Chain A
Amino acid sequence: MTLLGWAQIALVLAAIIAAAIPLGRYIAAVAAGRVTFLAPVERAFYVLGGIDPGRGMGWRGYTLAMLAANAAGFVLLYALLRLQGALPLNPQGFDGIPPWLAFNTAISFVTNTNWQAYSGEAAMSYLSQMAGLAVQNFLSAATGMALALALCRAFVAGGVSELGNFWADLVRMTLYVLLPLAILVGAAFVAMGMPQTLSAYVEATTLEGATQTIPLGPVAFQVAIKHLGTNGGGFFGVNSAHPFEGPSALATSLQIWAHQVIPFAMALAFGHIVGDRRQGLALAAVMLGFVVAGTAAIYAAEAAGNPLHLAAGLDPSQGNMEGKEVRFGQALVALFTATTTGASNGAVNAMFDSFTPFGGLVPLFLIQLGEVLPGGAGSGLYGMIVFVLLAVFVAGLMVGRTPEYLGKKVQAREIKLAMLAVLVLPAVILGFTAVSLVLPAAIASIQDAGPHGLTEMLYAYSSAAGNNGSAFGGLTADTPWLDTTLGIAMALGRFAYVVPVMAIAGALAAKPKLAASAGTFPTHGPLFAGLLAGVILILGGLQFMPALALGPIAEHFLLFAGKTF
């Protein structure tokens, strides 16, 4: 680790926080309908859709609207992918995507996962990229943000049955938040050298006289929303490690900024919406703490390097550079990795499969903790609030009152729903992985033996269920078994989680809002932040310990004993 490396990390994090603070206030204003500079466009959508934006929806109506919108998105995307061969904007003449892969990809982009069992430049037409994947990048992010806003509104007042209008939230988040930011960031990426063109791939002759096909496409703006919406699905197969998708350290820094700023801003917007900024700050502080700790852990592990390489006489100051781009360096790779996995983004600018075992453990664990650090656009906030409710419930009794959060009593119904939501990740991740480790058809996809191979499979299901979408590598993902089960894992990770969360929102909204007093459990300040971090680790992380012990943890100790896989 170097001082310069840490300075880079600190600079990017400072830029994130500096932007998240005003953005949080702005998102709260947009959510309240106070931002209207695109009112005619906004109104046009409502007229076209026959929507009354002022009509509030109960939690059921809101959830059903969300499910309907996502189901429609899935069908459209699936059809587009299957039919792309017959559709325009296909200069390379790619065929339609086969059924299993189209199923997997459509679910992947609808659920904001962006798990990619294909390589964009070798499979996707420009139309599929722009009208299919990029559109879902906007909609899935706006969906997450809308759901989070609905949950935020449950804490505002007592005896409320309506959580807002899903369609209005969806339109406003897209129009006023995602679109303007994507235009700014996309333009910046063009300036930094990313292609933005509809022309066909370029044939080049190399110095050796061989021909090389250089893929192009409308990259810059799709990459902008890929990060801003915490989607992570790369235009190219190697994602942000590709020179056209991550041309420079500056571009990779802007990408990190882009996939962190909205999740942090959402946490701060929560404070504004519930009328107590400190509440949002506490959540953001916990998120930031984990981002810093995760970055430090990866950075330390990778900078320390592989003991076998060092024993073979490699320069110790280089650390482990395998699978990393020299134009980024270890510091930005560590920060990118911690943020992309903590934020359910899933873009990568390095290959996790080549990390040291401990360096690879960190992104895996960050995903398994529930994608709340800071989590996806919106989904990070609602996932974090579920942990807050559990923390308040477990420890809140210790101040001598029945548990409450922001004046809302946390009772049997909320706990039942929260446990239902929390059950999804371990059930899906551990269940599918355990089956896949004994099923011959699944085992065939695993590249490496021993604990490393186990990690490859565990990572895939963690990434899918956590709606992260990053790949560890070393796994042949495009098989019927993996396409199907990972697709199911993604759908469950998103919808089986969020439906109970919305039911919690409905239950909490209906409750009276109790006044705070000196006897009220304080849900801001360092003490609460520490408690929340502990609950995330214990209730979110402990159940994965046995699996991790057999994967990266075992590999770590084996590596230092001289055994590799």
Chain B
Amino acid sequence: MATNTRRAVMLDRALLLRAMLDALRKLDPRRLVRNPVIFVTEIVAILVTLLAGRAALLGEPFGFQASIALWLWLTVLFATFAEAVAEGRGRAQADSLRRTRSDTPARLLLRADDRTLWQPRAATELRVGDIVLVEAGDLIPSDGEVVEGIASVNEAAVTGESAPVIRESGGDRSAVTGGTLVVSDWIVVRITAAAGSTFLDRMIGLVEGAARQKTPNEIALDILLAGMTIIFLIAVATLVGFASWNGQPPSVPVLAALLVTLIPTTIGGLLSAIGIAGMDRLVRFNVLATSGRAVEAAGDVDVLLLDKTGTITLGNRQAAGFIPVPGVTEREVAEAAMLSSLADETPEGRSILALARERFGIEAPALPQGAQVIPFTAQTRLSGLDLPQGRYRKGAVDALVRSIGGAAPPALRDAVDRIARAGGTPLAVARNGQLLGAIELKDIVKTGMRARFDALRRMGIRTVMVTGDNRLTAAAIAAEAGVDDFIAEATPEDKLAYIRKAQAEGRLVAMAGDGTNDAPALAQADVGLAMQTGTQAAREAGNMVDLDSDPTKLIEVVEIGKQLLITRGALTTFSIANDVAKYFAILPAIFVASYPELGALNLMRLASPESAILSAVIFNALIIVALVPLALRGVGYAAVGAASLLRRNLLVYGLGGIVAPFIGIKIIDVILTLLGLA
């Protein structure tokens, strides 16, 4: 598994330098207007700068005004810098992705059924529906569907995993990604994405943040912050009237300082950085979300649909025994099972041959001439082989019994129940329409899954195991793995129905899937994690793609979503809680001229009104920079219930948000006084 191959781009010097330049560029008010809090700060900074300039021209003292102006500008700059750093880290990844694109001409087939007739065509000029030939050593020109052939493809460009994967026509591994390299054989590909809208293009756009739109929750939070800004604007503007009732109204720079420290600049400055960093964490985890909305939805998920095989269990079920019905020998069952599995290339099928050899020394013959293979389908749920000497079938017990007609003998039913209760999977074996017995397949639950499901349950998330097994088998494995519910004998329709039902009950559902038949369910789910190895249909239907094709990662995706939301909430709470201390710093400083007795409110014993105001403004600016690492890294997340999570975060960010500025402002005041700056 190639998790985390896309290593975190460190905050290196080049990145920081570029971010600083970007931060300056972002000062353009036309761009900044998207961020109401920081926009207001910039307007105020311009105003105070002009006032300081006028004072300087008139030969009046302007040091205090200039200091406030400076720190207001730094507040704006730190906010744009936070966003620039977050974007910069994504851009570094995008650059490495972009390098993998190439302009090698593609071989456009003139006729779909003739591989010899082709003409060169630039990848950028390919249209959807074009058929191209890709041979060993070629880059696949664009996203597409394999319509013919089989090849091994190196997809390191998108997945970071250098071991080649098989791509073939039909089945669930038919999707190919533009920019990946065919390393052996050849495939004919029907193009499904025009230049500029390929998977790789989307990926570049996403990690770069260019395609980034505000998520619904960000928009709502922006409205809250804008509303608070207006409220404090009213409070500060009306202060002119209040203060003129008794004595002199405070000067504009002082009012500006009060306003900027009261409006939520901290969260306003960090909000977009938090969002970008959240997407970035997901990308680093080799999961691509089509939108930030999907990441938010991941945090809200309360039902996880997980496929049993490969996700909960190791996926290679092994044959563990042959159980004959009365009148049949164990060896007969083994032989029939072996013959019915001759053409079965699945690990289960191989394990049946291995068990037959091990128990009875039955060597599997080569597939005889004239043998007719009955392939497994989701509808029949059985497979087998027609040989001259007989028709051999194995498959799901109820399916096989139904195909023969009639009822299962009681002895078989007992055996099947016993296997299922033990967590195994029973397969029935028949020869010429006569039931011979059962094969016991055993499934192994991955280690550590139980603990993860327990953690999910504490987070309020129900896990549902989806399996094609019968109810008894499913129940036994469900109990062993510790999931909350299971869907047995699941068809794609069952999955879809289950998701719809959960959603009707007011739950948000996440699922992982890869096959074309998963597409409707992936589309219906609130979070659909498609596997990179899956079909194009599945990748289109989901709103996230896992480049490692590891469905277990659905759990981490949920955690990343939650972490993003927690970080946003924690910094919002912190930012708003900060206001209390700022009042105690600035209000006595502003009014002490009119009412010296209000100095009693100067709890922090700040040295002078000027140093108090300046310290509050400086704290307000520096706290943005101080919190950038937290915004980028995310607040630590533990899988505990909402109540204890809230208690802890309220304590740290709510109470901490009230206390921290008292300490911070006092320290800055002491330093300013020691330096003789105010």
Contact = CB atoms under 8 A, between A and B. Distances in A.
A395 B563 contact: no
Interface in B179-235: 216-217, 219-221, 223-224, 226-228, 230-232, 234-235
A453 B460 contact: no
B238 A430 contact: yes
Nearest to B214: A412
A422 B649 contact: no
Identify which of A422, A517, A519, A549 gathers the most chain B CB atoms within 10 Å of its CB. Answer: A519
Contacts of A527: 643, 646-647, 650
Contact of B645 (A400, A426, A561): A400
Contact of B227 (A419, A438, A531): A419
Interface string A497-527: 0000000000000001111011111100101
Given A411-B220, A542-B579, A426 B650 contact: no
B566 interface: yes
A550 interface: yes
A158 B506 contact: yes
Contacts of A435: 241
B641 A518 contact: yes
Interface in A379-396: 390, 393-396
Contacts of A427: 234
Contact of B243 (A411, A542, A550): A550
Given A437-B242, A527-B643, A549-B601, A394 B569 contact: yes
Nearest to A449: B246
A277 B503 CA distance: 26
B354 interface: no
A253 B119 CA distance: 97
A454 B235 contact: no
B650 A395 contact: yes
Contacts of A558: 595, 597
B642 A422 contact: no
Contacts of A512: 506
A316 interface: no
B507 interface: yes
Contacts of B226: 419
A395 B569 contact: yes
A243 interface: no
Contacts of A553: 598, 601
Interface string A536-565: 001100111111011001100110110100
Q: For A396, A399, A544, A557, which residue has the most chain B Cβ atoms within 10 angstroms?
A: A399
Contacts of A60: none
Interface in A460-500: none
A457 to B, nearest CB: 8
Contact of A519 (B461, B563, B590): B461
Contact of B563 (A400, A431, A525, A534): A400
Contact of B235 (A400, A401, A437, A544): A544
Interface in A304-351: none
Given A451-B595, A543-B234, A549-B591, A390 B224 contact: yes
A90 interface: no
B246 A547 contact: no
Interface string B133-177: 000000000000000000000000000000000000000000000
A407 interface: yes
B587 A398 contact: no
Contacts of B654: 395, 531, 534
B593 to A, nearest CB: 12
A422 B506 contact: no
Given A550-B242, A554-B591, A398 B653 contact: yes
Given A400-B637, A519-B460, A547-B238, A395 B598 contact: no
A538 B572 CA distance: 13
A104 interface: no
B459 interface: yes
Contact of B244 (A437, A531, A547): A437
A313 to B, nearest CB: 24
Interface string B36-75: 0000000000000000000000000000000000000000
Given A395-B646, A433-B241, A454-B242, A538 B461 contact: no
A450 interface: yes
Nearest to A457: B245
Contact of B223 (A416, A513, A549): A416
Nearest to B227: A419
Given A430-B235, A430-B238, A514 B573 contact: no
Given A415-B224, A553-B598, A431 B238 contact: yes
A447 interface: no
Given A411-B216, A419-B224, A546 B236 contact: yes
B302 interface: yes
A426 B234 contact: yes
A11 interface: no
A211 to B, nearest CB: 43
A402 interface: yes
Contacts of B507: 514-515, 517
A451 B245 CA distance: 8
A518 B506 CA distance: 14
B676 to A, nearest CB: 29
B246 A426 contact: no
A243 B22 CA distance: 73
B565 A401 contact: yes
Contacts of B240: 434
A410 interface: yes
A423 interface: yes
B323 to A, nearest CB: 42
B282 to A, nearest CB: 15
Interface string B639-667: 00111011101100110000000000000
A397 interface: yes
B127 interface: no
B462 A394 contact: no
Nearest to A550: B242
A415 B242 contact: no
Nearest to B579: A542
Contacts of B231: 422-423, 426, 543
B580 A549 contact: no
A397 B235 contact: no
Contact of A415 (B223, B590, B649): B223
B616 interface: no
Interface in B578-593: 579-580, 583, 587, 590-591
20 contacts: A398-B570, A399-B642, A400-B637, A411-B217, A412-B220, A412-B223, A416-B220, A416-B223, A423-B230, A426-B235, A430-B238, A434-B238, A434-B240, A435-B241, A453-B245, A515-B302, A519-B302, A519-B460, A525-B643, A553-B601
Given A402-B217, A520-B642, 5 more contacts: A400-B645, A402-B216, A427-B234, A433-B238, A513-B506
What are the nearest 5 A-B pairs in CB distance? A519-B460, A397-B569, A434-B241, A400-B562, A419-B227
Interface of B: 216-217, 219-221, 223-224, 226-228, 230-232, 234-246, 258, 262, 296, 299-300, 302, 457-462, 505-508, 561-563, 565-566, 568-570, 572-573, 576-577, 579-580, 583, 587, 590-591, 594-595, 597-598, 600-601, 637, 641-643, 645-647, 649-650, 653-654
